[in-house]
Amino acid sequence: AHLDRIAAVDGPVHAFLHVDAEGALATAAAVDADRAAGVDMPFLAGVPVAVKDLVVTKGLPTTAGSRILEGWIPPYDATVITKLKAARMPILGKTNMDEFAMGSSTEHSGYGPTHNPWDLDRIPGGSGGGSAAAIAAFEAPLAIGSDTGGSIRQPAAVTATVGVKPTYGGVSRYGAIALASSLDQLGPCGRTVEDTAALHEVMGGHDPMDATSLDEPVPACLAAARDGRENGLAGVRIGVVKELGGDGYQAGVRQRFAESLDHLRALGAEIVEVSCPSFKYALAAYYLILPSEASSNLAKFDSVRFGKRVERDTIEKTMLATRAEGFGDEVKRRIILGTYALSAGYYDAYYGSAQKVRTLIQRDFAAAFELADVLVSPTAPTTPFKLGEKLNDPLSMYLQDVATIPVNLAGIPAMSLPSGTAPEDGLPVGFQIIAPAHEDARLYRVGAALE
């Protein structure tokens, strides 16, 4: 049914870069056969899933949205793919994204933008717009995304779906093409909080192949979601972050946020205000740390090891021509920013200062979590904007991430879930819940109660 739906609607939506109908049907048939034979099956067996195209899949094209990887077929599976396969989940295909996950609109994909199913003239968010749009358009019930500065949560917000960025280290990144290694995290996307919880439990867990992987049990996300739904939120302290959700946020976004707070109160939660004064530096720190790490991670695309090669008479010219042709403008902009910030004499002033801001943000969160069990804010300052509207204005594109970025800088988990539509334009608004490190289950408890 999902493959039929993809065939019917993905032309105009363009959520997928590659559909693996044959592979998905083969997995589904094997599940049916085993089920008929009475074999005990994992919880999500037979439930199809879409995968963001920066997760490597053995035998299936993987481009990370870049022309530089066009035609590359990975020789191995990422750990999360191995886990999906063990859970007997058919993989529908690979979803569109901003090139190397740099962007908030999917317009920086080397393969054309994804369109928001709510209004095809609008952006589906980014960088994981393909995964979110696939869910919103009923092309897939579940998807995998990656979140370095908001790329799971902001697309979820603008498509009225659910997306979770787990605690840093909670999900293995072995086989995920790196953007900024100190910030990147893979996570689940779904249509409901409980669906997302089930996928989170499949994806999570320790992996010796990833040096940053936490050696601790997978959080009990599903049980927490059911607990929240059935028992409400009596005694739960919810902190409203004073610095997120005021000036610069669309009126309808602020209105829906206020209504969600009323709803939380009605569920028995206690609402308190918390202040995180260092958040005003988060965006600036992020846009130094991310380009620095990205410029280093992307050095491996050198025409020798992977994908595209534009042949010239010397190896230097070959590398230069390959990178000049293979990378898009946003990727080049960030490589230039990053190599500048890391260059001798500037390292302390830029990367070093940004790391200090990061510590201040972590302290703000620690103080806020003394007063509240979870923190909340709008996920994004606006509803989805028109395709093309911010394409030539990188700074205003970067501002989409103002409420999501502090979470990545601190390595903590957060969820975006739907919060109705803005009265002025009828478009989706997202509500963000943030929990302390390792407490991913709290997101599901509060999210399921609110849903």
Which one, 151 or 250, has the nearer CB to ligand GLN?
Answer: 151
Distances (CA, A) of 353 to 47, 97, 366: 46, 30, 20
Report in angstroms how near the CB of residue 146 gets to ligand GLN at its nearest. Answer: 6
Report in angstroms how near the CB of residue 328 gets to ligand GLN at its nearest. Answer: 13
d(CA 429, CA 436): 24
3-state secondary structure 283-335: HHHHHHHHHHHHHHHHHHCCCCCCCCCCCCCCHHHHHHHHHHHHCCHHHHHHH
Which one, 364 or 401, has the nearer CB to ligand GLN?
Answer: 401
Which one, 27 or 172, has the nearer CB to ligand GLN?
Answer: 172
Torsion of CA 3, 116, 81, 85, to 10 degrees: -30
In this structure, are strands 237-241 and 142-146 parallel, antiparallel, or unpaired?
Answer: unpaired
Please name the helix (run of DSSP H) or strand (run of DSSP E) that holds residue 375, with its range, or none: strand 374-378
d(CA 75, CA 56): 9
Give the chain's length. Answer: 451
Which one, 3 or 289, has the nearer CB to ligand GLN?
Answer: 289
DSSP per-residue string spanning 146-157: E-SSSTTHHHHH
315 burial level (CB within 10 Å; 0-12, 13-18, 19+)? exposed
Report in angstroms how near the CB of residue 363 gets to ligand GLN at its nearest. Answer: 23
Q: Using the CB atoms, write b or e for 353-375: b if 16+ within 10 Å.
A: bbbebbebbbebbeebbeebbbb
Contacts with ligand GLN by CB under 6 A lie at: 101-104, 127, 146-151, 179, 290, 401
Distances (CA, A) of 171 to 144, 168, 320: 11, 8, 35
Structure tokens at 375: 């923190």
Which one, 198 or 335, has the nearer CB to ligand GLN?
Answer: 335
- Give the position of tokens 């209004």: 119
Ranked by CB distance to ligand GLN, the top (closest) residue is 151
Report in angstroms how near the CB of residue 360 gets to ligand GLN at its nearest. Answer: 20
Which one, 310 or 342, has the nearer CB to ligand GLN?
Answer: 342
Whether the ω angle into residue 127 lies within 30 degrees of 0, i.e. cis, is: yes
Which one, 228 or 384, has the nearer CB to ligand GLN?
Answer: 384
Report in angstroms how near the CB of residue 33 gets to ligand GLN at its nearest. Answer: 39
Contact 164, 413 (CB under 8 A): yes
Report in angstroms how near the CB of residue 185 gets to ligand GLN at its nearest. Answer: 9
Report in angstroms how near the CB of residue 153 gets to ligand GLN at its nearest. Answer: 8
Classify residue 218 by its DSSP letter: P
Which one, 69 or 290, has the nearer CB to ligand GLN?
Answer: 290
d(CA 67, CA 109): 9
Query: CB atoms < 10 A from the CB of 319, how many?
Result: 18
Structure tokens at 54: 């920066």
Q: Give me the active site residues, please.
A: 52, 127, 151
Report in angstroms how near the CB of residue 300 gets to ligand GLN at its nearest. Answer: 18
